């Protein structure tokens, strides 16, 4: 097995977490910026707070039940 394949399979949860954390942070920053531009500081703060929450990462077939069961 190639070292990269081994890293990907053994660290799948880590890679998914990084992707989810990045996505959530960027989306939250964009949403908060929109609210700041509109002058709604309350909604901007709420968007930042939601984006900072810990993402829940589940591996299909590992952390969640298989469909049909």
- In a domain? residue 44: yes
- In a domain? residue 1: no
- In a domain? residue 63: no
Gap between the Cα atoms of 32 and 56, Å rounded: 21
Q: How far is CA 56 from the centre of its chain?
A: 7
What the block records as the tokens of 53 is 């929450």
Domain interval for residue 38: 18-52
Q: How far is CA 48 from the centre of its chain?
A: 14
pLDDT in tens, 45-67: 999 999 999 888 776 766 655 55
- In a domain? residue 8: no
More confident residue, 37 or 68: 37
Number of domains in the chain: 1
- In a domain? residue 64: no
Instruction: State which of 11-15, 16-20, 24-28 shows the largest mean pLDDT.
Output: 24-28
């Amino acid at each position: 097995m190639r070292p990269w394949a081994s890293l990907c399979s053994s660290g799948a949860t880590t890679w998914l977490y990084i992707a989810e954390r990045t996505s959530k942070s960027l989306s939250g920053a964009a949403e908060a910026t929109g609210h700041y531009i509109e002058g709604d500081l309350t909604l901007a703060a709420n968007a930042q707070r939601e984006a900072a929450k810990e993402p829940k990462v589940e591996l299909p077939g590992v952390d969640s039940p298989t469909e049909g069961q």
